[in-house]
A = this chain, B = another copy of it.
């Protein structure tokens, strides 16, 4: 496991490795035409047998157009042997923790850049509680999902910025989705 971190070298237009002109151009465009902010993000998934499946992510809809990623992303999920899998990928709830870590990190860093808060290094440790009695159907009174997730950031920045960064975490879309919930509609059709 690599422990590499990068200390960003910023100039006037780049803070925390974020090009402020690029970010500001997007913000200004959406501010002048709010419909540009409406996005539809997407993933396709293929079952590969057992607990192993793979998601493919190629692009999304935003700024009133289809936008292709510069590469195709493939993400594998599996379960460990104790849950009848073969460990060919992180399991789905670990993928959820990754999504949360990535989103809160990005939200902090980008909003900090806009506010002129320089970050040297930023790491986090996440831990979430799930009681498998729920998922396995052994006790219908037990929640099936995460009941509690703890995210512990360690940051190298000017003293006093820690509390401001914690407040900026509140902008994270994944954090908001997890704490406020979202509607999910599932359909299953034969082929």
Contacts and interface: CB of A to CB of B under 8 A. Distances in A.
Interface in A67-118: 67, 69-75, 77, 79-84, 86-87, 89-107, 109-111
B70 A175 contact: no
Contacts of A84: 18-19, 22-23, 26, 110
B174 A138 contact: no
Contacts of A175: 145, 184, 186
Interface in A116-162: 119, 121-139, 143-157, 159, 162
Contacts of A6: 47-49
- The range of chain A's interface size is 35 or more
A126 B43 contact: yes
Contact of A174 (B60, B92, B122, B154): B92
Contact of A43 (B5, B60, B71, B98): B98
A163 interface: yes
A45 B98 contact: yes
A12 interface: no
B184 A178 contact: yes
Contacts of A80: 60, 67, 69-70
